[in-house]
Amino acid sequence: MDIPAPDTNTTSASPHHAQCYRALTARDARFDGVFFTGVSSTGIYCRPVCPARTPRASSCTFFSSAAAAEQAGYRPCLRCRPELAPYALQQNLAYAVWQRIAAGALNHCDDGSALEQLAVTVGLSSRQLRRVLVQHFGVTPVELAQTQRLLFAKKLLQETALPMTEIAHAAGFGSVRRFNALFAARYGLAPGSMRRAAADDRRGSDALILRLAYRPPLAWDALLRYLSGRGMPGLEAVHENAYLRSVRIDGVSGWLRVTHSPLKNQLQLDIAPALAPQLMPLLARVRAQFDLDANPTVIDQHLQQDALLAAQIRRVPGLRVPGTFDAFELAVRAVLGQQISVAGATTLSGRLVARFGAQAETPFAQVTHHFPEAGLLAATAVDDIAALGMPRSRAETIRAIALFADQGGLAMRPGLSLASAVAHLRGVRGIGEWTAQYIALRALRFPDAFPAGDLGLQKAAADGLSETTRLSEKTLLVRAAGWAPWRGYAALLLWHSLQKSDSAAITPSIHDEPSQKDQV
């Protein structure tokens, strides 16, 4: 069943109403976050997976966002908790802006300056930005931000024991008074009335414990194997089916542990309490790193039209495109991976972290450092970087990408096309097509990015013609044209197909090997 996201002014007579109601009655998790249901008889709005009794169709109004439902006067359901819903990921300007707002772009500023700054980064005037969001979501940027803040605060109220002052600050409110007033006005409740003990989850742990939902299936083991093979020693690790790393956001330091709760279709995050002020951007980064907003049903329906990809989808359902917690980290890791094996690049990255990264305090023996700041590497002598064990030309590229990042080069405006982003990256000396596409895929989250110069992809796409056969880059691009706009997911499927078994490590000598054009 393919249900498009309804308009924010959807009524029971709209063409989407019957389709959305069928998904609601089936409690279909594939549409979790794609729409929300406002129930006129109760005055609340729910996710499609809500366990409550299904309301009558005549009582339902469907909305494409939580903000639109709240603007219409509905309150969030306390059972299904709309703040847990995965995002309805779409590749357009409005959703790109919405993601920045969800990560806190308009927090802690009610005088309009944050909106003006966001508009500048998008390349629009504040008036144009307002029009874009109203046309797409039916609400203004401020209304969208208020809904995100309230839902995030509700999440913290129900999942943590943080004091009200810290919750208000973490959710982006300028004061507890403002938080209390808006919460009461919108939900008709005092914030304290939404507290949940959650004692079992927090007993014996000093960490903040939060949850993020996804649309099933999720190939968690495959995702961890990929991240494990490319993890930077000292910075991150995979241990006992969990992902561990150090965290530093805007001067606030801590650590993070991510585990899987498959029965709930959620990831559990154990977070250092010191990171409470940065929880909104932190959770946004984790969502991107684990590709939690992907809709595997939609992607698979398209890619399985190719027999080779269909076989791999059946083998590894729910395979995601692993992202990164920090774009600069990934860019450096991609450069280190130029023309050497994955294992070799991992060794080099560990040396770089140990040599130039600041020490981190974490409860994990495997995680000891933060990643070096871009400004630090940009100011480091090329010979000092090369001394880690790489050619001088590679060290020059590390410095060049560090300077590029320090000047804001990786903070690309929402709505930028893949071609423009790749061209922008290729302006850095030493960054070729393979590296630019790889960064675009994993760090900038372009689902259609495709490093066709990768020898592993060329071999996998040859579909076992022989052990030595591979497609040319040009031939692979022609074949991949039919996989758009999800060529990045096709790349992960092809890379994964090179494993000899589900439990095997991904072949280390192929996947990050670029074409010769990436050499300086």
- Do 132 and 93 form a contact (C-beta atoms < 8 A)? yes
For residue 35, give the 3-state DSSP assignment.
strand
71 pLDDT higher than 60 = yes
Phi, psi values for residue 208, rounded to 5° = -80, 135
Model confidence at 78, pLDDT cuts 50, 70, 90, reads very high
Q: Residue 19: what pLDDT?
A: 87
**CATH number of 93-199, picked from 2.40.30.10, 3.40.1790.10, 3.40.1190.20, 1.10.10.60:** 1.10.10.60
Ranges for all domains in the chain classified under CATH 3.40.10.10: 17-78
| 293, 96 contact by CB (below 8 A) | no
- As a whole number of Å, the CA-based R_g of the chain is 23
454 is catalytic: yes
Q: What are phi and psi of 359, to 5 degrees?
A: -70, 145
Out of 85-94, 168-177, 248-257, 351-360, least confident range: 85-94
CA distances to 61, 101, 115, 146 from 143, rounded to whole Å, are 20, 11, 12, 5
Hunting for tokens 């154990």 — which residue is that?
270
Q: Which residue has the higher pLDDT, 123 or 518?
A: 123
pLDDT of residue 40: 96
Tokens, residue 50: 């809500």
User: What's the angle, vertex CA 356, arms to CA 351 and CA 362, rounded to 5?
Assistant: 85
Give tens-digit pLDDT for 184-230. 999 998 998 888 644 444 545 689 999 999 999 999 999 999 999 99
Whether 399 has a pLDDT exceeding 60, the answer reads yes
CA separation for the pair 158, 270 (Å, rounded) = 15
Say how far apart CA 418 and CA 487 lie, in whole Å.
Answer: 12
Confidence of residue 13 (pLDDT cuts 50, 70, 90): very low
Cα separation, 304 vs 491, in Å, equals 13
Q: Is omega for the bond preceding 485 within 30 degrees of 0, making it cis?
A: yes
CA angle 150, 155, 159 (to 5 degrees): 150
In 142-294, beta strands by DSSP E: 208-213, 236-239, 242-249, 252-261, 266-271
Share of the chain above pLDDT 70, in %: 89
Binned at pLDDT 50, 70 and 90, residue 31 comes out as confident
Location of each CATH 1.10.10.60 domain in the chain? 93-199
Residue range 17-78 forms a domain whose CATH class is alpha beta
Confidence of residue 122 (pLDDT cuts 50, 70, 90): confident
Spatial CA neighbour of 223 closest among 235, 214, 233: 214
CATH 1.10.340.30 domain span(s) along the chain: 216-249+290-518
Question: In whole angstroms, what separates CA 371 from the centre of its chain?
Answer: 19
Which pLDDT belongs to residue 500? 57
pLDDT at 205: 63
For the cut 80, the answer to whether the pLDDT of residue 479 exceeds it is yes
What average pLDDT does the structure give for the chain?
88
- For the record, the structure tokens of 485 come out as 């706009």
- Pick one of 3.40.50.150, 1.10.760.10, 3.90.1150.170, 1.10.340.30 as the CATH number of 216-249+290-518: 1.10.340.30
What residue type is 147 in one-letter code? T
Per residue in 402-436, pLDDT tens? 999 999 999 988 878 999 999 999 999 999 999 99
**pLDDT tens-digit map of 276-335:** 999 999 999 999 999 999 999 989 999 999 999 999 999 999 999 999 999 999 999 999
**Angstrom distance (rounded) from CA 26 to CA 104:** 34
User: What is the spatial distance between Cα 106 and Cα 331, in angstroms, rounded to a whole number?
Assistant: 27
Q: Which of 293, 326, 454, 512 is catalytic?
A: 454
Residue showing tokens 């630019």: 436
**Residue 103 CA neighbour count, 13 Å, CB half:** 16
Q: How far is the CA of 129 from the CAs of 122, 125, 363, in angstroms?
A: 8, 6, 43
Residue 111 is predicted with a pLDDT of 64
Reported as a single tens digit per residue, the pLDDT across 234-252 is 999 999 999 999 999 999 9
SS3 (DSSP) at 193: helix
Of 162-176, 227-241, 408-422, 496-510, minimum mean pLDDT range:
496-510
> In this structure, what token pair is assigned to residue 436?
């630019």
Out of 99-103, 384-388, 479-483, pick the least confident: 99-103
- Which pTM value belongs to this model? 0.86
Say whether 2 is catalytic. no
CB 248 within 8 A of CB 258: no
Catalytic residue among 20, 46, 50, 77: 46
